[in-house]
C-alpha cells in the first residue's frame, strides 16, 4: 500500500483538502476522510515498528524516503492539515524531531531516504526544501516549539546556499526551492526571505531557456511546460511573488483564498513585457493553474 503524496493515500487526502477548500467544506465529508487519515497513521506506526526513536515511517518501492514527493515530509505535511488527536499530533512532531536529529551534521541538509549517506539533493522532492516547508507548517501548528521554527530557518539556509540547481521546476528545480523562502517569509515576516525568493526568481528569469534545455533535452519537450518539472511551476512562482503573503506551493500548501480577478491582473502585469521568455506558454499555464476555461485572448482583454 502506498502512502506518499505523489501516488498514495496522502495524495488522495491532499486532493480532498483542496476540493473542500475551493468547493466548500463538507464537499467531501469528514467521515469519509478521517478513516483514511487513521489508515495513514496506522501504516506509519507499523512501518516504524523496528525503530523506537521514530513513531512514523513509510516505504515506497521498499525504500524509506524522507522527501516531500515520496516520503515522510510530504505525508507529515498532509497530516498537519487535519484535526488530529493529541497523541497523533505528538507522533507527527516526534517524527519531525527524529528527522531533525538525523540531518547531515556538516551541511544541515536532509537525506533523501533513511540511512542514505549521500548529501547531494537540495530540492522539494528530496532534501532541505520540502523539509523547510513542512517545518514551517509544523511551526504554525506548534507555535511554542522553538526547535521546529529554528529547524525550518536552518533548512532555508541550506536552500539559500545550494538551491540554484540546473532545473526550473517545482519538484526538483529552482522554482520549487524559491517556495521555501516564501514559506519562511509567511512564518517569520522577515523581508530577507522575500528577497531571497526574488533572487531565485530573477535567476530563473535570466536562465530559464537554458535550464529547460538542460533539464529535459530532446524527447522530453512535453515536460518543459509542466507544473512540477517545467515552466508552469515558474509561472506560479512569479505569480506568487506579487503577493508573497498569500503565496502557497502548488499541490503542497493550501491557499487561504481562491484566485480572483485582481490576482489575474497582477499575474498579467508580471508577464506583460514583450521580452518575457515563453510569455504565451506562461499565460496558458496560468489559465490552467487557476482552473479557468478562457483562452489566452480572454486574459489579454482582462488586462486592457
pLDDT, tens only, 6-26? 999 999 999 999 999 999 999
Examine residue 85 and state whether it is found in any structural domain, yes or no. Answer: yes
Examine residue 191 and state whether it is found in any structural domain, yes or no. Answer: yes
The pTM (predicted TM-score) of the whole model is: 0.85
8 A C-beta contact, residue 32 and residue 19: no
Q: Which residues pair with 65 in a beta bridge?
A: 113
- The stretch 112-126 carries a mean pLDDT of 97
CA angle 81, 87, 88 (to 5 degrees): 35
CATH number assigned to the domain comprising residue 270: 1.50.10.10
Which residue range forms the structural domain that includes residue 274? 9-303
8 A C-beta contact, residue 44 and residue 58: yes
Rounded Cα–Cα distance for residues 280 and 286 (Å) = 10
Tell whether the model's pLDDT for residue 247 goes beyond 60.
yes
Examine residue 92 and state whether it is found in any structural domain, yes or no. Answer: yes
Examine residue 3 and state whether it is found in any structural domain, yes or no. Answer: no
Examine residue 69 and state whether it is found in any structural domain, yes or no. Answer: yes
Which letter, b or e, does each residue of 245-279 get, where b requires 16 or more Cβ atoms within 10 Å of its Cβ?
eebbbbbbbbeeeebeeebbeebbebbeeeeebbe
Examine residue 240 and state whether it is found in any structural domain, yes or no. Answer: yes
Rounded Cα–Cα distance for residues 239 and 84 (Å) = 33
Summarize pLDDT for 248-294 with one digit per residue, the tens.
999 999 987 655 545 555 555 555 544 344 445 455 444 444 443 33
8 A C-beta contact, residue 165 and residue 177: yes
Q: What are the grid coordinates assigned to 154, written together?
A: 536552518
Name the domain count of the chain.
1
Other CB atoms within 10 A of residue 89 CB: 17
Amino acid at each position: 500500500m502506498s502512502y506518499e503524496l505523489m501516488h498514495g493515500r496522502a495524495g488522495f487526502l491532499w486532493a480532498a483538502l483542496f476540493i473542500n477548500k475551493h468547493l466548500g467544506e463538507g464537499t467531501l465529508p469528514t467521515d469519509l476522510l478521517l478513516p483514511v487519515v487513521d489508515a495513514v497513521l496506522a501504516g506509519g506506526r507499523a512501518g516504524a515498528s523496528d525503530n523506537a526513536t521514530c513513531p512514523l515511517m513509510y516505504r515506497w518501492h521498499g525504500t524509506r524516503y524522507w522527501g516531500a514527493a515520496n516520503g515522510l515530509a510530504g505525508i507529515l505535511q498532509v497530516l498537519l492539515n487535519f484535526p488530529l488527536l493529541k497523541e497523533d499530533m505528538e507522533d507527527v512532531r516526534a517524527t519531525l524531531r527524529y528527522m531533525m536529529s538525523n540531518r547531515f551534521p556538516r551541511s544541515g541538509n536532509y537525506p533523501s531516504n533513511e540511512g542514505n549517506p549521500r548529501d547531494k539533493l537540495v530540492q522539494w522532492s528530496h532534501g532541505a526544501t520540502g523539509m523547510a516547508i513542512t517545518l514551517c507548517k509544523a511551526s504554525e501548528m506548534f507555535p511554542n516549539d522553538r526547535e521546529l521554527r529554528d529547524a525550518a530557518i536552518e533548512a532555508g539556509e541550506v536552500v539559500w546556499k545550494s538551491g540554484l540547481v540546473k532545473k526550473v521546476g517545482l519538484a526538483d528545480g529552482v522554482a520549487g526551492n524559491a517556495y521555501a523562502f516564501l514559506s519562511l517569509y509567511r512564518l517569520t515576516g522577515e523581508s530577507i526571505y522575500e528577497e531571497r525568493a526574488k533572487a531565485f526568481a530573477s535567476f530563473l528569469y535570466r536562465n530559464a531557456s537554458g535550464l529547460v534545455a538542460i533539464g529535459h533535452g530532446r524527447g522530453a519537450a512535453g515536460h518543459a511546460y509542466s507544473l512540477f518539472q517545467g515552466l508552469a511551476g515558474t509561472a506560479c512562482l512569479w505569480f506568487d511573488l506579487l503577493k508573497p503573503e498569500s503565496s502557497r506551493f502548488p499541490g503542497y500548501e493550501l491557499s487561504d483564498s481562491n484566485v480572483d480577478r485582481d490576482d489575474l491582473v497582477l499575474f498579467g502585469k508580471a508577464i506583460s513585457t514583450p521580452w518575457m521568455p515563453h510569455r504565451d506558454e506562461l499565460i496558458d499555464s496560468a489559465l490552467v493553474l487557476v482552473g479557468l476555461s478562457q483562452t489566452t485572448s480572454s486574459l489579454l482583454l482582462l488586462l486592457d
